[in-house]
Amino acid sequence: MSSSSATSYSQTSYSKSVRYNNKSKLIWTPVDSVERRSNLSYEEFVREYASVGKPVIITDAMKNWKALTKWNMDFFKSEYGSYEAFVLDYKAETKMWGRTYMSMNIADYIDVITSGTCDKLLYLSEFHVGDHPELWEDCKDPIYFNDWYRKIPLEIFKKYINDTYDIQIGQKNTSVGLHCDHRHDNAWVAVISGQKQVVLLSPDQEKYLYEGQVDCFNPDLQKFPLYANAKPVECILNKGEMLYIPPDWWHHLKNLENTIGLAINTMNEWSYDLVRQGFLERNPIKGHLFPLIVKFPFLGRVLLTVGLL
């Protein structure tokens, strides 16, 4: 039997459809709060959330993950300490996607953020699981994923879409900022340790968001007055919980303490048309080849070998 809480949905909540670039349909359901569910079957997830574009927190999707007991600061320091990663510096006076990056090895980074004396706000947000396949064993796909990206040959996956599974090791009070995932796929956020505060905004709120320059946790309404019309939905994501973010929902996440998380993007029947449209817009030739590669992975290897990918 599925359990549910935080169900204070407005009586006027409804499903709405729009045309994405007049080609692919985007469906979402406005919400006033985010439900927390456990023992959720795949059929229930599809019917109540994925098919209507509605976010949900699943509290037990990760209960069998080795990562919950294995992935901690000491683990990454000892096993991947020499790995060089790009780290964001949030003290720099830069815009949302123009922030300052620095290169640090993971051991040094962990020492800095756990020392308690760091005068900067640092965030390691792009440690690709695809570069370290052994880590797949620690985070088995929940039944809800049905991830078609995983059908794509690994060498193509790593070249074009390697960021679909990113380990994020974040210092307290850091954030990846307000954004909408550019491939229009399904987004998942899993908390391995720590806690995150999340702000979600449905696709129709984009006109109030100034291309993601707004700080949802401390909005400057003099600089961004239209944000006063937005309808943000907030929730807290705890250790062992996973948040489903439907395609084209804007989201802003903040680490409430030093946190290890996993940012996951998946593609399946609920996002495939939108993802394909995005590939077509960026590169028409590769966009037309994309469905063939998903359906016939061996063809992708051939195209990569002869230089067409």
pLDDT digits (tens, 9 = 90+) for 241-278: 999 999 999 999 999 999 999 988 877 777 778 888 87
- CATH architecture of the domain with range 27-268: Sandwich (2.60)
In terms of pLDDT, which residue wins out, 224 or 264? 224
Token duo for residue 18 = 């729009």
- What gap in Å lies between CA 32 and CA 93, rounded to an integer? 33
- What gap in Å lies between CA 269 and CA 299, rounded to an integer? 21
pLDDT of residue 279: 77
Mean pLDDT across the chain, nearest whole number?
A: 82
pLDDT band at 192 (very low <50, low <70, confident <90, very high): very high
Token duo for residue 86 = 């790009």
**Torsion of Cα atoms, 296 then 297 then 302 then 307, to 10°:** 110
Say what percent of the chain tops pLDDT 70: 84
* Average pLDDT of the residues in 225-247: 97
pLDDT of residue 158: 63
pLDDT band at 112 (very low <50, low <70, confident <90, very high): very high
pLDDT of 238 over the 80 cut: yes
pLDDT of 292 over the 80 cut: no
pLDDT of residue 7: 31
pLDDT of 67 over the 80 cut: yes
pLDDT of 55 over the 70 cut: yes
pLDDT band at 162 (very low <50, low <70, confident <90, very high): low
Q: Are 16 and 28 in contact (CB under 8 A)?
A: yes
Token duo for residue 137 = 């064993």
pLDDT of residue 10: 32
* Average pLDDT of the residues in 138-165: 72
* Average pLDDT of the residues in 195-211: 96
Give the up-direction half-sphere exposure of residue 148: CA atoms within 13 A in the CB hemisphere.
Answer: 18
Sequential DSSP letters for the chain? --EEE-----TT---EEEEETTTEEEEE---SS-EEEES--HHHHHHHTGGGT--EEESSTTTT-THHHH-SHHHHHHHHTT-EEEEEETTS---TT--EEEEEEHHHHHHHHHSS---S-EEEEEEEGGG-GGGGGGSPPPTTT--GGGGS-HHHHHHH-GGGEEEEEE-TT-B--SB--TT--EEEEEEEESEEEEEEE-GGGGGGSGGGT--TTS--TTT-GGGGG---EEEEEETT-EEEE-TT-EEEEEESSSEEEEEEEE-STTTHHHHHHHHHHH-HHHHHHHHHHHH-HHHHHHHHHTT--
* Average pLDDT of the residues in 127-132: 83
Q: Report CA 43 to chain centroid distance, whole Å.
A: 22
- What gap in Å lies between CA 233 and CA 198, rounded to an integer? 8
pLDDT of residue 196: 97
In terms of pLDDT, which residue wins out, 199 or 19? 199
Token duo for residue 2 = 């599925």
pLDDT of residue 261: 95
Query: Hey, which residues does 25 pair with through a beta bridge?
Result: 19
